[in-house]
Amino acid sequence: MPWPDDIRRAREKYRWHINHASVTVLAALLVLFAAILPLSRLSSGQFAHWRRVRNQLGNARNVIARMPELDAENRRLAGMSLFENASDDGVIAHSKLLAALTNAARRSQIGFISIRPLSVRETGDYSEQVFRMELRAGYHQIGRFLSALCTAGCIVRLSEIALAGDKSGSPLITASLEARAFFLKTRMPAYGGTQPGVPPRSVAAAADTAFSYKARHRDPFLPTGATAASVAQVSGASYRLKGIIWDASKPLAVIMDGAGITYLLRAGEQIGTDRIVSVGKSGVVLRRPDGIRYELKTWE
């Protein structure tokens, strides 16, 4: 029969083996958990990425499926008149005017700044469309644009044209035009018909068109590099007004400095050492540290 000491030693040895096995199993579980946790995170991230890609592919398929519908809608919107008017003839006159201007611009390679159609007046068998526009191009391109406009299927009579040189010294100039375009009405009598509502005199009469021109920096009528019409630079930093953004509170002036960096500034804010005094429709007024005020206008 075993002695009590032998029984006690056997129990201690058995307990040690049990503890060792428990520690080993616990360590294995910890190692397994430490290995599974990053894998689970990676798998969840991959699943989220796969789901996001699947949604993007689904959206792309929907867009591709709707492309004919979107293209038709785009064509419908492009074919609509951009300038609404109450009368049918007025809408047709607006559409014809836009088509004539864009066709002449495409043929002469000019760039529009603004097109503002004004009132439509009925004159016999014609619809008289008064409009103002501002464009930017070379002097020869403006002449080509006017020539193309005269052959656009309508009668165009200029009442005012003003040309202004660019302060950057480039050969581009800004032209502001005010004109009347006469379009045939939708229904015309078989014979006869009235003439457009213009006086019976030569279109090239001296008093027909008011013409003005001013060169800010370099006269575009002179060859490139000519200095006969150059204007001395003002002292201080040189800024250019690129445009004005109108919002509900205060207008923003888009000003570019001599380094080509563009700033969005409101009245009271500062650019360099100069402070914005006011931002209006005619331009932006700035004040230098010495108190001198000067004005910047678009395209100057």
Residues 114 and 210 placed together within one structural domain of the fold? yes
Residue 10 lies in a domain: yes
Residue 223 lies in a domain: no
* One-character DSSP codes across 83-96: S--SSHHHHHHHHH
Residues 177 and 97 placed together within one structural domain of the fold? yes
Strand pairing report for 284-287 and 274-279: antiparallel
pTM score, two decimals?
0.35
Of 122, 129, 127, 124, give the one whose Cα is nearest residue 194.
124
SS3 annotation, 110-146: CEEEEEEEEEEEEECCEEEEEEEEEEEEEHHHHHHHH
User: For the packed helices 139-150 and 88-108, what is the interaxial angle rounded to 10 degrees?
Assistant: 140
Of 251, 151, 161, 260, give the one whose Cα is nearest residue 214.
161
> Which tokens in the block code for residue 93?
């006159």
pLDDT top residue among 67 and 286 = 286
Mind listing the pLDDT tens digit for each residue in 130-188?
A: 888 888 787 778 878 888 877 766 778 877 888 777 665 566 777 888 888 777 765 43
Q: Does residue 197 have a pLDDT over 50?
A: no
SS3 annotation, 145-162: HHHHHHCCCCEEEEEEEE
Residues 42 and 112 placed together within one structural domain of the fold? no
Residues 210 and 101 placed together within one structural domain of the fold? yes
Round to whole Å and give the CA distance between 245 and 27: 68
Residue 38 lies in a domain: yes
Residue 198 lies in a domain: no
Q: What is the CA radius of gyration of the chain?
A: 38
Average pLDDT, rounded, for the chain: 69
Round to whole Å and give the CA distance between 71 and 300: 40
Q: Which helix (H) or strand (E) holds 211?
A: strand 210-214
Q: Which of 51, 80, 109 is at the close of a domain? A: 80
Residues 100 and 126 placed together within one structural domain of the fold? yes
pLDDT top residue among 265 and 126 = 265
The 10 Å CB-count burial string (b at 16+, else e) for 223-252 is eeeeeeeeeeeeeeeebbbeebeeeeeeeb
Residues 31 and 96 placed together within one structural domain of the fold? no
Q: Which of 80, 103, 119 is at the close of a domain? A: 80
Of 247, 251, 257, 255, give the one whose Cα is nearest residue 281.
251
Residues 166 and 245 placed together within one structural domain of the fold? no
Residues 100 and 182 placed together within one structural domain of the fold? yes
- Going by the DSSP 8-state scheme, the letter that residue 234 receives in this structure is P
Residue 183 neighbours by CB distance under 10 Å: 23
Question: What CATH number is attached to the domain comprising 249?
Answer: 2.30.30
Band of pLDDT at residue 70, cut at 50, 70 and 90: low
Report the pLDDT value the prediction gives residue 280, as an integer from 0 to 100. Answer: 82
Residues 46 and 129 placed together within one structural domain of the fold? no
CB 239 within 8 A of CB 286: yes
Round to whole Å and give the CA distance between 283 and 296: 6
Query: Backbone dihedral region of 109: left (phi > 0), alpha (psi from -120 to 50 degrees) or beta?
Result: left
pLDDT top residue among 300 and 160 = 160
Residues 75 and 100 placed together within one structural domain of the fold? no
> Which tokens in the block code for residue 62?
């929907």
Residue 288 lies in a domain: yes
Residue 199 lies in a domain: no
- Number of compact structural domains in the chain: 3
> Which tokens in the block code for residue 87?
């009368």
Residues 145 and 247 placed together within one structural domain of the fold? no
Question: What CATH number is attached to the domain comprising 129?
Answer: 3.30.70.60
Q: Which of 14, 48, 80 is at the close of a domain? A: 80
Q: Which helix (H) or strand (E) holds 52?
A: helix 4-79
> Which tokens in the block code for residue 161?
């044209």
Mind listing the pLDDT tens digit for each residue in 80-114?
A: 444 333 334 445 556 677 778 888 888 887 877 77
- Close Cβ partners of 90 (under 8 Å, ≥ 6 residues apart): 120, 127
Q: Does residue 71 have a pLDDT over 70?
A: no
Q: Which domain holds residue 67?
A: 1-80
Give me the phi and psi of 238, to 5 degrees please.
-110, 125
Round to whole Å and give the CA distance between 17 and 10: 11
Residue 197 lies in a domain: no
Residue 196 lies in a domain: no
Mind listing the pLDDT tens digit for each residue in 24-41?
A: 888 888 877 777 777 777
Residues 210 and 104 placed together within one structural domain of the fold? yes
Round to whole Å and give the CA distance between 180 and 199: 13
SS3 state at 49: helix
